[in-house]
Amino acid sequence: MELETGVEEMIENAELEQVCDATVALRDSRESLPTIDPIEAPPVDLKASELYINRELSHLQFNVRVLEQALDEKQPLLERLMFLLIFSSNLDEFFEIRVAEQMRQLKYGREAVGPDAMHPQKVLEKIREICEINVDRQYRILNEIMLPALEREGIHFHRRGTWTPEQRAWVEEYFNEKVVPVISPIGLDPSHPFPRLVNKSLNFIVELDGKDAFGRETGMAIIPAPRSLPRLIRLPDELCDGGDNLIFLSSIIHEFADTLFPGMTVDGCFQFRITRNADLSFDFEEIEDLARTLRGELHSRKFGDAVRLEVDNRTPEHLIAFLQEEFKLPTAHVYRVDGPVNLTRLMAVRDLVERKELRWDPFTPGLPNKLKSTDDVFSALKRGDQLLLHPFQSFTPVIDLLRQAAKDPDVIAIKQTLYRTGVKSDIVNALVEAARAGKEVTVVIELRARFDEESNLQLASRLQEAGCLVVYGVVGYKTHAKMMLVVRREGNNLTRYCHLGTGNYHSGTARLYTDYSYMTADEQVGEDVHKIFQQLTGMGKIQKLQKLYNAPFTLHAKMIELIHNEIRNVKAGNEGHIIIKVNGLTEPKLIRTLYEASQVGVKVDLIIRGMCRLRPGLEGISDNIRVRSIIGRFLEHTRVYWFANAGKPTVICSSADWMERNMLNRVETGFELYGKHAARIRSELDYYLRDNCQSWELHSDGSYTQNIPAEGEELFSAQQTLLNELANS
């Protein structure tokens, strides 16, 4: 046994020597060969189409997240109903603008593709697929969940078949007194061609049998529902067994349609609604007077090309085919629905039903202590800048600044931008008062704020009549900046007081949208705001700003510079971190630069409410990027850019989203914050990054999933936390 072991060891040692000799020979041969560098993977093309999500489909996904709120039982019942109806309102605008644009491109052979390279025809096909699924879901939620839940709470929607004789008598009287005097049924024949129906109006197509008074057998008629009448009517309490009792105008017209065609038989009466292209387009080179041109275009918006047909799902196929032919719409643009075709008008339920327990708890917006302790806004701003976060904090100080300026004899001038504000708002009243008091009041009104054009034209007329100097900004560049400048004589000096914001000068939306307001007497900020107003009202070269950034000149370049700075910091061994909170992220160069930042290890947190073209989580490209969307009680509207900057954070609030239109084709402002205000912004951004009950995570395939607490983790809502901290209960 020992001899055998020795022989085995000798054999093993000999083999080992051979292996060692071979290894040395191989090493020597390698050393004699020329050095070959390792093969590096080719750089990723950051312009590749697969790295980008289609803008329209991303926009549509935001609305799907809105619809999901209707299923959230943590929210009050009537608020869930509102989310269901907001889905309809958002979808209307999506078809009026976004779908209309895709169809226009195909119609005129001007197909344009974005960074995702998706052809408009393919985009429309995907839109149809998503909308068909989710519109069906919406009506199932309404019929199977919302209406039964409302019924259990004593809110009854009475269908025709459930009316008692007394209720029917009351409804018939309502029909004869309120509906008949304003309704105009239209029989279809050679002298009465198909009517030109208004965008988004409720209509009925009626099948008739028999001859009319002139012996005509038309067989068909259209009943446009009067737009002056409410779509929901409350039944008198004495005719009902308690609760809130509502009926649809459509039910009333259905029930008594036969009385509109005496001597004829109504064989069928079916709801439909047409959605039209509502976008306004201008040839700016041909415009001589923007206001006059806009007035002419507004009327045509009601009768643009048809883009969608909604019909009651009980409508016979031959009638649907007839409507399609009239509106020149393919089947892909027809939506059959199981209920009222104009759900948005059901928002009237808020005014018809007083059920506070089914709504969100009311709150009183808070105020910073320095603004609580004085009625003199000027003296408060002399002591220090103020940063407000609406709606958790009050919008009143912004209005008070303007009101005080209107009355103060030492104020000599006021300058203001207005985008969406309303003709009779407190802001406008103060501007009118100031002008009538002899102050120099200059107002830059953006007439082309979509769907507020008519209101802004009326607003311009009112301000001009009061003596304000009204200008419409710069042709070709929407004025989206939110700026107010008050010039006050103090001793021998002129002091400028400013307000800069991320949202509009509108008291109503300040209770519904989250936005920052920054109020300051900082001399350099005042000088910058003055220069921007000069650019808007006068002419001249770009003026250098000290503390502000403005689009279309410096804001976009500054964002690229700040991202590159984070890249340099990481390469130098420091931590890199970017937090961006905006409503939309679509600008390709910004996205490519964020991809570059992620590739070197910069941590990127994006809080994007709506459209986002960037794909997070792509290996080697966007591994370090996280994208989330917050959907809740308030519409997230703040635009905040935070950069770590090697331990000395740069914090900028702005009126601009990270979209092409904002960065390159609009007048926007960005204002940097420092010290305690910058620290506060970071703290509040952290709330949104922690949110685990109203936040949705974007995945690389473009889908979203809602974040839910891990096992043992407490619920955390950013909006509720801010309400608790900043508002008064």
Task: Please check whether residue 232 is in contact with residue 246, taking contact to mean a CB–CB distance below 8 angstroms.
Answer: yes
Q: What is the pLDDT of residue 14?
A: 41
Q: What is the pLDDT of residue 23?
A: 41
Q: Is 513 annotated as a binding residue?
A: yes
pLDDT digits (tens, 9 = 90+) for 242-263: 999 999 999 999 999 999 998 8
Rounded to 10 degrees, what is the CA torsion of 401, 407, 413, 415?
40
- The tokens 């993977």 sit on which residue? 41
Tell me the whole-structure pTM to 2 decimals. 0.89
Residue 18 pLDDT exceeds 90: no
Q: What is the pLDDT of residue 642?
A: 98
Do the bridges between strand 577-582 and strand 704-706 make them parallel or antiparallel, or are there none, so unpaired?
unpaired
- Phi, psi (degrees; rounded to nearest 5) at 70: -65, -20
How far is it, in rounded angstroms, from Cα 567 to Cα 590? 14
Mean pLDDT across the stretch 596-615?
97
| Structure token digits, residue 457 | 């034209």
% of the chain with per-residue pLDDT over 90:
77
Q: What is the pLDDT of residue 4?
A: 38
| Structure token digits, residue 171 | 């409804």
Q: What is the pLDDT of residue 35?
A: 47
Residue 12: which residues within 8 A CB-CB, separation 6 or more? Answer: none
Q: Which of 448, 432, 477 is nearest to 291 (CA)?
A: 448
Q: What is the pLDDT of residue 138?
A: 97
Q: Which of 591, 593, 603, 588 is nearest to 642 (CA)?
A: 603
Mean pLDDT across the stretch 256-274?
92
Q: What is the pLDDT of residue 40?
A: 57
pLDDT digits (tens, 9 = 90+) for 30-87: 444 444 454 555 688 999 999 999 999 999 999 999 999 999 999 999 999 999 999 9
How far is it, in rounded angstroms, from Cα 101 to Cα 377? 46
| Structure token digits, residue 319 | 């009638």
Q: Is 626 annotated as a binding residue?
A: no
Whole-number Cα distances in Å, 142 to 159, 202, 203, 266: 14, 19, 21, 29
The CA-based angle 251-252-256, given to 5 degrees, is 115
Whether the ω angle into residue 391 lies within 30 degrees of 0, i.e. cis, is yes
Task: Please check whether residue 386 is in contact with residue 380, taking contact to mean a CB–CB distance below 8 angstroms.
Answer: yes
| Structure token digits, residue 494 | 């002129």
| Structure token digits, residue 96 | 């009026």
How far is it, in rounded angstroms, from Cα 519 to Cα 653? 13
Banded pLDDT at 515 (limits 50, 70, 90): very high
How far is it, in rounded angstroms, from Cα 364 to Cα 727? 6
How far is it, in rounded angstroms, from Cα 448 to Cα 614? 29
Q: What is the pLDDT of residue 441?
A: 96
CB atoms near residue 361 (< 10 Å): 9
Among the ranges given (14-18, 143-147, 455-459), the one the predictor scored with the smallest mean pLDDT: 14-18
Q: What is the pLDDT of residue 2?
A: 38
Residue 597 pLDDT exceeds 70: yes
Q: Alpha carbon 480 to chain centroid distance? A: 15
Catalytic, 564? Answer: no
Mean pLDDT across the stretch 627-645?
97
Q: Is 609 annotated as a binding residue?
A: yes
pLDDT: is 532 or 18 the higher one?
532
Q: Is 450 annotated as a binding residue?
A: yes
Q: Is 168 annotated as a binding residue?
A: no
| Structure token digits, residue 438 | 């002899």
Banded pLDDT at 543 (limits 50, 70, 90): confident
Banded pLDDT at 474 (limits 50, 70, 90): confident
pLDDT digits (tens, 9 = 90+) for 153-179: 999 999 998 999 999 999 999 999 999
Residue 127 pLDDT exceeds 70: yes
DSSP state at residue 238:
G
| Structure token digits, residue 692 | 């685990």
How far is it, in rounded angstroms, from Cα 336 to Cα 272? 9
How far is it, in rounded angstroms, from Cα 619 to Cα 697? 17
How far is it, in rounded angstroms, from Cα 656 to Cα 503? 10
Whole-number Cα distances in Å, 264 to 216, 246, 259, 319, 702: 11, 30, 9, 19, 55
Q: Which of 43, 58, 52 is nearest to 114 (CA)?
A: 52
- The tokens 């009950």 sit on which residue? 693
Banded pLDDT at 19 (limits 50, 70, 90): very low
Q: Is 477 annotated as a binding residue?
A: no
Residue 15 pLDDT exceeds 70: no
The CA-based angle 83-84-87, given to 5 degrees, is 85
Q: What are the structural domains of the chain?
A: 52-358 (3.30.1840.10), 369-539 (3.30.870.10), 550-726 (3.30.870.10)
Banded pLDDT at 212 (limits 50, 70, 90): low
H-run or E-run covering 524? helix 523-537
DSSP for 37-101, please give it. Answer: PPPPPPPP-TT-GGGB--HHHHHHHHHHHHHHGGG-TTS-HHHHHHHHHHHHHHHHHIIIIIIHH
Mean pLDDT across the stretch 680-701?
97
pLDDT digits (tens, 9 = 90+) for 218-244: 689 999 999 899 999 999 999 999 999
Banded pLDDT at 375 (limits 50, 70, 90): confident
How far is it, in rounded angstroms, from Cα 262 to Cα 185? 12
Residue 684 pLDDT exceeds 80: yes
Active-site residue, selected from the candidate residues 390, 480, 499, 577: 480
Alpha helices in 209-354 (DSSP H): 249-256, 290-301, 317-327, 349-352
How far is it, in rounded angstroms, from Cα 381 to Cα 475? 35
Mean pLDDT across the stretch 458-480?
89
Do the bridges between strand 603-608 and strand 650-654 make them parallel or antiparallel, or are there none, so unpaired?
unpaired
Type of residue found at 671? F
Please provide the size of the chain in residues.
Answer: 729
As a whole number, the mean pLDDT across the chain is 89
Q: Which of 240, 205, 197 is nearest to 315 (CA)?
A: 205
Task: Please check whether residue 726 is in contact with residue 392, taking contact to mean a CB–CB distance below 8 angstroms.
Answer: yes
How far is it, in rounded angstroms, from Cα 587 to Cα 569? 24
Count the alpha carbons within 13 Å of 640 in the hemisphere toward its beta carbon.
30
Mean pLDDT across the stretch 269-283?
84
Q: Is 370 exposed, middle or buried (0-12, 13-18, 19+ CB in 10 A)?
A: middle
Task: Please check whether residue 119 is in contact with residue 103, taking contact to mean a CB–CB distance below 8 angstroms.
Answer: no
Banded pLDDT at 569 (limits 50, 70, 90): very high
Residue 141 pLDDT exceeds 70: yes
Banded pLDDT at 217 (limits 50, 70, 90): low
In Å, the largest CA–CA distance within the chain is: 129
- Phi, psi (degrees; rounded to nearest 5) at 564: -60, -35
CB atoms near residue 687 (< 10 Å): 17
